[in-house]
Structure 1
Amino acid sequence: MVREAAGIALGLLSLHYWPTLPPYSVVMIAVVTGSLVSAYLRERLLICIVFGVVLANYSAVAYLDDVETVAAERGDITIIGEVRSLINHNIPNTLFEIVTIDDSSAGGSLPAGLRLHLRWGAGTFAGDTQQPMPDIKLGEHWQFTLRLKPPYGRVNSAGYDRERDAVGKGIHGVGVILDAVQLDTPVGWHDHLRQTMYQQAIAMTRDLPFGAYLLALGFGERTALTDQDWQLLRDSGLAHLMAISGLHIGLAVVIGWRLGGMLRGVAINLYYLTWLPLWCGLLLGGGYAWLAGFTVPTIRALLMSVVILLLMRLRIGWPRWQVLLVAFAACLMINPLASYTAGFWLSFTAVAIIMFAGVGGVGRQEQPSAVNHGWQSLLFSIWGAVRQLFVMQLALLLLMLPVQWLWFGGFAWLAPLVNLLAVPWVSLLTVPMVLLAVGLSWWPALSGLGWWAADLSLKPVMWLAGLAQGAWLPLTGDMAGGLLGLAVLACLIWLLPVRRYAALLVSGALIVLALMPFDGPTSGSGEREVEEGPAPVFIDMLDVGHGLAVLISTGQGAVLYDTGNAWPGGSIASAVIEPVLRQRGYERLDGLILSHGDSDHAGGAEYLIRHFSPSWMRSSDHRDGFSSCVRGETWLWQGLEFRALWPPKRVRRAANPHSCVIALGYANAPPFMLLTGDIDAISELLLARLEPDLTPEILTVPHHGSLTSSSRTWLTAMRPEVALVSAARFNPWRLPNPEIRRRYVAMGSQWLSTADHGQISITRVGNEMEIVRYRQDIRPGWFRPRPSRVGENPKTD
């Protein structure tokens, strides 16, 4: 069983190493060859690996076929779908998930089984009248008129990867609803029951201080949590606790097992009642997982519970790691693409660490001596339990560091202390009361009392979490070796006798210290002395969708040109720019330049000023705290010269023609880059007269490649080698314009668009230049959309 599970898991995980999917013929040849070799060698492991590879390929091909079906749609389409999300209409959240239904008679135009994320927001119209979002409920069938596109996201060196997450969740498309009509189709009893219980919980927790957390614990729905709530959970390390996680499923199974044992004890002595604890445990655990919609952590916990309970009932002894391995392989077989989600790896890694810690030392504690009686024995038992919990949390903190760095770029250093108190408190008090409140939904008075008691129990937990606010430590990219060394060192300390291997442990600690980047990037505060010879300059056009953000850094400081867009509750500054800066070790910005006042260029300015305190700031309009950025001004920063070429004077509010144009180069040398903002053709022609000798090698394409800019006269005089354009692939303006792209390519410029390549990073040392495209060179994947062709963009939001 162990070898088979390991082989299947290896075959399924091989999908992560495929930049492209192999053709069907290649897969079949590999299957036949592998089967023959396995039969000849009588090696079951190889057969299982081949089976895993085939299953992975089939799942990936099926997913891509469905995504291409969505991508083939153009303009407004009509589909029939079943709602698969619990929706809280008391919060401003208009995102929900549907599964398409093949009902061509009702006007559907997509095949059945596609999972779509839809948004009902501003701009949703029925005819000429804007309508609010209707009371959409789980399990209902609706006819939607919408604009659809494949799941396409931003790809940067840090931050959320929407495309990878969509693969793991099986999302085939996203869309904006234009109109919707409910169909007269009966809702399944299970969906109706879950929706009814959820609505009742919303009504009962609406006025409770921690109602959003209770909904997360009761139904796994965390849409009511605000950005401040998420930051609090992140800093305290409690994000895993405020949801229906594997820990809570296991707790529900244990409660059910105990209740079943009690019922069996008072019932008549019948043979089939010997299985009652198992069925009660699985019933309560499965019901709790059903409330959460059977997410990956709940499925993992259920599978492990089934295996463990069956082994206990059949009196079969398996090592704990074997149970975990079988559950790991089973989860991948159920959903071969689940390994593309962070929850999958966090869940299994945490359980593996807990098992490892229990075998390696957490569970090993001295027993009370015979002379200890009464209160002494009780105190010893309490101390042992507290010690065990603390060391377990410490093990999770240290050994989860590499995983935390890979997925989140940091860790909460106070998490062990907070979880030491919060985990047993929430598990033993809050969760049982939440289960009781949900189970008593048919009795509103008692259910409301349960919700009130659960909310009261969270008060000390959230007070404790508030004390840890700000305890999040970002991890830079060059700390990878040190993190891995620290995890290995922790394992050595855990498993080896410390005194006997003291020299080895000291050596390991020295190695870790040597790997840690103590002289890493720091933030500067303005002009610095220029070292001999040209220093390397790192230019990153970040993938911000429709907008602009260019990061200029030297390894000793960073300057940002534009900040990307902002929206209610979030911004590109927090979603993209901050993770990239934290990853590189920058706690502050040396400089911030705003080209003009449009939101897609300056929307994140306030956030960055508040969190990164730029030493100097410049703009072409009048802003508090900003110096002017107008023609004739020049300043130096770490051996680089910034020369403002446009506009001729400062304005009250800078629009596109007033964009601050910056020529960037080494001090006392011709500029090698031109930052253009959104200047128009008239500004370009005036600038060409003022700067006839301007020939930058790198040019940011003005106004995202619009026809209103990049005039032929201006470009012919410059002929840049590299043209960088920041644009979203599926934007309503269909930018960049195909004619503009052909214009640059015709004059020999290398066209690089964030829509096709994600973040574009250029390293320049003297006259040498190296270009890295993150979609193709750093984070390739079979699920990444191919580069767009001219005129390919559909008209969609």
Structure 2
Amino acid sequence: MLEPIYWAIQFSSDSWINIDRINLLQVFALVVFMFLRPLLKREQQIIVGLSVLFIIQTVDIHPNSSWQVSILDVGHGLAVLIRKGNQHILYDTGVKWETGSMAEMVIAPVLRYRGVDDVGLLILSHSDSDHAGGREYIEQHFTPISKLSSQRISGYSPCVDKTMLNWNGLTLSAVWPPKLVKRAYNPHSCVIRVTDGVSSILLTGDIEAIGELLLAKKGDEIRSDILLVPHHGSRSSSTDYFLNAVDPKVAIASVAKGNQWDLPSEIVVNKYMTRNIKWLDTGSDGQISIDFSRNGWQIMNIRNRQSLSWYRKILRKGVE
């Protein structure tokens, strides 16, 4: 019974069209206008057409957001998008496998939906596959203008302690590692604090206890409102002295649902919760986005927004 479907699929691969939100809005407006056209006089058609065109060109997708951070749902791995205006930073690229990658399956569709043709800045925390697996795909398809890494890679600038960038009104401060390395493993992860002068987020890669101890001595240099949980919530990280120094209000972990490593560790999650730090993770919440504005920030996650879907209710009651 499935044979006709398999036969038809081969003809659909070349007809797939990537369309961003603005273009989607334009198509919708055009369809609505075509339906209304027979009901309007010629002068009214011109007025309505020009009005719709003006609205589309001036609409702001994020009217209340100064900048946004999105922790993408890439399973066991990490990919963080930072957006301000029409510019984007990508911190890590998710995992790859023999026939594909999270960069191709998750990151690219998000960027294309946003109308992004190139990434302004690509940052690799370290070189493990679950963090840098999609590097080549991103480089090939989104041609990053600038690139940072704590590992010596041709074409990449150093991401080491004291590196500071002013990017589109945001300040990016690298606080770890102390120096470039030949091969960046977990302890050499590039740790970056991003702030607009009011709110801040600390991106930590896979740093572990020793690195956290040295980072904790930096005090206010790492203090942040939101913490990207180090090493996917592993017990090798999120030490007490590190959490005391960062003093976050929200902790977000990038993990796969039901992963083979049992991450995040229950002990680690409880450590955050006993400190009254709000805990979120992509395994439970899906993609997590934080909209920053003059009034603070607002957290949204895809899974909760879609939780009212009828099929999800049936599955949760009948299966889970």
TM-score, L = length of structure 1: 0.37
Q: Separation in 2 of the partners of 1:678 and 1:222?
A: 44
Q: Does 1:488 align with 2:32?
A: yes
Opposite residue 600 of structure 1, the aligned amino acid is D
Cα drift, residue 644 of structure 1? 0.7
Kindly provide the amino acid, as one letter, of the partner of residue 221 in structure 1: Y
Number of aligned residues: 313
Of residues 231, 246, 262, the one that matches 1:703 is: 231
Instruction: Give 1:734 shift.
Output: 1.0
Instruction: Give percent identity, aligned residues only.
Output: 40
Counterpart contact for 1:538–1:762, Cα < 8 Å: yes
Structure with the larger helix share: 1
Deviation at 1:692, TM superposition (A): 6.2
How far the C-alpha of 1:612 sits from its partner, in A, is: 1.2
Q: Tell me which structure has the larger Cα radius of gyration.
A: 1
Matched, 1:727 2:265: no
Unmatched segments (≥5 aa) in structure 2: none
| Aligned residue among 158, 161, 167 for 1:628 | 158
In structure 1, the partner of 2:14 is 232
User: Residues 550 and 489 of structure 1: is their aligned pair in 2 closer, same or farther, counting only changes over 3 Å?
Assistant: same
Shift of 1:639: 0.9
- C-alpha displacement of 1:556: 2.7
Are the structure 2 counterparts of residues 615 and 585 from structure 1 closer, same or farther at C-alpha, using a change threshold of 3 Å?
same
In structure 2, what is the Cα distance between the partners aligned to 1:231 and 1:695? 48
Helix, strand or coil: the match of 2:14?
Answer: helix
Aligned-residue offset at 1:636: 0.7
Aligned Cα root-mean-square deviation (Å): 2.8
In the TM superposition, 1:161-560 aligns within 5 A as 219-221=4-6, 231-234=13-16, 411=17, 474-476=19-21, 478=22, 481-492=25-36, 496=38, 501-517=41-57, 536-560=66-90
| Alignment match, 2:276 | 748
Contact 1:774 1:780 in 2 (8 A): no
Deviation at residue 671 of structure 1 after TM alignment: 6.6
- Cα deviation code 1:390-439 (max 9, x no counterpart): xxxxxxxxxxxxxxxxxxxxx4xxxxxxxxxxxxxxxxxxxxxxxxxxxx
Determine which structure has greater relative contact order: mean sequence separation of CA pairs < 8 Å that are 6+ residues apart, divided by chain length. 2
**CA–CA distance in 1 between the matches of 2:207 and 2:7?**
42
Q: Deviations over 1:362-412 (max 9, x none)?
A: xxxxxxxxxxxxxxxxxxxxxxxxxxxxxxxxxxxxxxxxxxxxxxxxx4x
Distance in 2 between the 1:223 and 1:606 partners?
Answer: 31
**Residues 1:608 and 2:169 are matched in the alignment:** no
CA–CA separation in structure 1 for the residues paired with 2:161 and 2:204? 13
On the 8 A contact 1:547/1:727 being kept in 2, the answer is: yes
Q: Which residue of 1 aligns with 2:189?
A: 659
Distance 2:12 2:164 in 1: 42
Seen in structure 2, the aligned counterparts of structure 1 residues 734 and 575 have a Cα distance that, compared at 3 Å, is: same
How far off is 1:631 after superposition?
0.7
Does the aligned pair in 1 maintain the 2:175–2:222 contact within 8 Å?
no
CA contact (8 A) 1:719 1:747 kept: no
SS in 1 for 2:15: helix
What amino acid maps onto 1:700 in structure 2?
Answer: L
Report the counterpart of residue 147 of structure 2 in structure 1.
Answer: 617
Q: Do the aligned residues in 1 keep the contact of 2:216 with 2:246 (CA within 8 Å)? A: no
Give, in whole Å, the separation in 2 of the partners of 1:613 and 1:765. Answer: 29
Of 290, 294, 301, the match for 1:773: 301
For residues 660 and 703 of structure 1, do their structure 2 counterparts lie closer, same or farther at Cα, with a shift above 3 Å needed?
same
- Contact 2:199 / 2:296 at 8 angstroms: preserved in 1? no
In the TM superposition, what is the alpha-carbon distance from 1:775 to its structure 2 partner? 1.1
- Residue type of the partner of 2:280? L
Task: Classify 1:693/1:611 alpha carbon distance in 2 versus 1 (closer, same or farther; 3 Å).
Answer: closer
Match of 1:301 in 2: none
Q: Deviations over 1:338-376 (max 9, x none)?
A: xxxxxxxxxxxxxxxxxxxxxxxxxxxxxxxxxxxxxxx
Aligned to 1:253: none
Displacement, 1:623? 1.3
Contact persistence 2:202–2:222 (CA under 8 A): no
Residues in 2 aligned to 1:780 and 1:704: alpha-carbon distance in whole angstroms:
28
Structure 2 residue aligned with 1:595, among 120, 125, 131? 125
CA distance in 2 between counterparts of 1:646 and 1:765 reads 27
Query: Are 1:520 and 1:585, in contact at CA under 8 Å, matched by a contact in 2?
Result: no
Distance of 2:113 and 2:138 partners within structure 1? 16
**Is this contact kept in 2: 1:759–1:774, CA < 8 A?**
yes
Query: Per-residue deviation at 1:481?
Result: 4.6
Match of 2:241 in 1: 713
Quote the Cα distance in structure 1 between the aligned partners of 2:148 and 2:159.
Answer: 5
Aligned residue runs from structure 1 range 67-106, under 5 A: none
Residue in structure 2 matching 1:575, options 105, 116, 119: 105
Structure with greater strand percent: 2
C-alpha separation between the residues in 2 aligned to 1:730 and 1:555? 36
What SS class does the counterpart of residue 268 from structure 2 fall into? helix
Decide whether the 8 Å contact of 1:775 with 1:784 is kept in 2: no
Structure 1 runs not aligned, ≥5 long:
1-83, 86-217, 235-410, 412-472, 522-534, 789-797
SS in 1 for 2:276: coil
CA 1:580–1:693: 2 relative to 1, 3 Å: closer
> Would the alpha carbon gap of residues 583 and 511 (structure 1) be closer, same or farther in structure 2, given more than 3 Å must change?
same
> How far has the Cα of 1:582 moved from its partner?
1.7
The secondary structure found in structure 1 opposite 2:194 is strand
CA distance change for structure 1 residues 745 and 785 in 2, over 3 Å: closer, same or farther? farther
The verdict on how the C-alpha distance between 1:571 and 1:517 changes in structure 2, with shifts beyond 3 A counting, is farther
Q: Deviations over 1:475-515 (max 9, x none)?
A: 21x5555333210222345xx39xx9322332332133123
- 3-state DSSP of counterpart to 1:611: helix
- Post-superposition offset of 1:609: 1.2
Asked if the contact 1:594–1:619 (Cα under 8 Å) also holds between the matched residues in 2, the reply is yes
DSSP 3-state at the match of 2:280: strand
1:645 aligns with 2:175: yes
Provide the secondary structure at the position in 2 that maps to 1:641. Answer: strand
Q: Distance in 2 between matches of 1:693 and 1:558?
A: 24
- Verify the 8 A CA contact 2:160 2:179 in the aligned structure 1: yes
Question: Shift in Å at residue 600 of structure 1?
Answer: 0.9
